[in-house]
Amino acid sequence: MSEATTLANMAVEVLNTADGRAKTAISRAHAARWAQARADGKDIAVGQATPPDMPARPDKPELLSPRDVPRRKPGTPEGRIALLHAVAHIELNAVDLHWDLIARFTHVPMPPGFYDDWVKAADEESKHFNLVSDSLEAMGSHYGALSAHAGMWRAATDTRDDIMGRLAVVPMVLEARGLDVTPGMIEVFRKAKADDAVAALQTIYGEEVAHVAYGSKWFHFLCGRDGLDPKPTFHGLVRRYFHATLKPPFNEEKRAEAGIPPDFYWPLTESS
Ligand SMILES: [Fe+2]
Ligand SMILES: [Fe+2]
């Protein structure tokens, strides 16, 4: 690992690392360095760097269009492995999404706390990928053993020039969706008595609330700085960049905890 000199360089180094375990190791080391420097009052400069259009990815898993990814029943061991494999893929994308958010918008002046939040989120996603990969390996599989969705970087590409669009779509729509679906997944693994998968998903569920909250916090910060009304601004950005309606049922309690009120998401269940 190089001694990247700025936060933006650290982010690009993570994005350009292909192997999942190597990516998360570098991600966690850089996050620890940033946090230590901040605690010591010797802040690392944010700097500027050019993130890749697409993050580096391992040769496996093979990435397929969502309709070509085989569906398996969650009631079977193969189905549970497929479900966890899909979660591992989401977590690895999330590592890259958070580092991309850090590197992509350095031309927009933001307080240091913005970077603290996303570095912490990236560190947690790295932990999530490792926990889910450990569970997969305990079940005799591994990340890369199955195919995975190819479309995960779409939201990043679509919002590459719009920090508010990025915050609206990635943490406030996609990560909020994770809050809706994770309790059901925990139930699947609890019924199967897969204790380490249950523990991994509970860690994820607990920590993802904060990622959604960081999204809401910095979205509202930017609305306030630019004199924009948050709710119609959010609706406009999601309709522009997210190519589907939102699907209930929603986890209203956790969404509320994360600072996303019902009148932000319910109107988006209908196409405009
Ligand atoms: Fe995560
Ligand atoms: Fe997250």
Compute the distance from residue 201 Cα to the ligand 2 centre, in Å.
12
In eight-state DSSP terms, residue 44 is: P
Please tell me the distance from the alpha carbon of residue 13 to that of residue 51, in angstroms, as a whole number.
9
Residue 10 zone, left/alpha/beta (φ > 0; ψ -120 to 50; rest): alpha
Q: Which tokens in the block code for residue 237?
A: 């950005």
CA of 81 to the centre of ligand 1 (A): 18
Residues 6+ apart with CB under 8 A from 188: 74, 80, 83
Measure 125 CA to ligand 2 centroid, in angstroms: 6
Query: Which-ligand-closest: CA of 92?
Result: 1
- Separation of 149 CA from ligand 1 center, angstroms? 17
Q: Which residues surround ligand 1, an ion (CB under 5 A)?
A: 91, 94, 125, 128
Verdict on whether the full-model pTM lies above 0.75: yes
What is the set of domains in the chain, with CATH numbers? 7-269 (1.20.1260)
**Nearest listed ligand to the Cα of residue 210:** 2
Q: Each residue of 104-133: b (16+ CB within 10 Å) or e?
A: bbbeeebeeebbebbbbbbbbbbbbbbbbb
- For residue 211, give the ligand nearest its CA: 2
In tens digits, what is the pLDDT along the chain, a chain of 272 residues?
A: 556 789 999 999 999 999 999 999 999 999 999 999 999 999 999 999 999 999 999 999 999 988 888 887 878 999 999 999 999 999 999 999 999 999 999 999 999 999 999 999 999 999 999 999 999 999 999 999 999 998 889 999 999 999 999 999 999 999 999 999 999 999 999 999 999 999 999 999 999 999 999 999 999 999 999 999 999 999 999 999 998 999 999 999 999 999 999 999 999 999 87
Amino acid sitting at position 12: V
CA neighbor of 148 nearest in space, from 159, 127, 168, 133: 133
Please state whether beta strands 148-149 and 63-64 pair in parallel, antiparallel, or not at all (unpaired): parallel
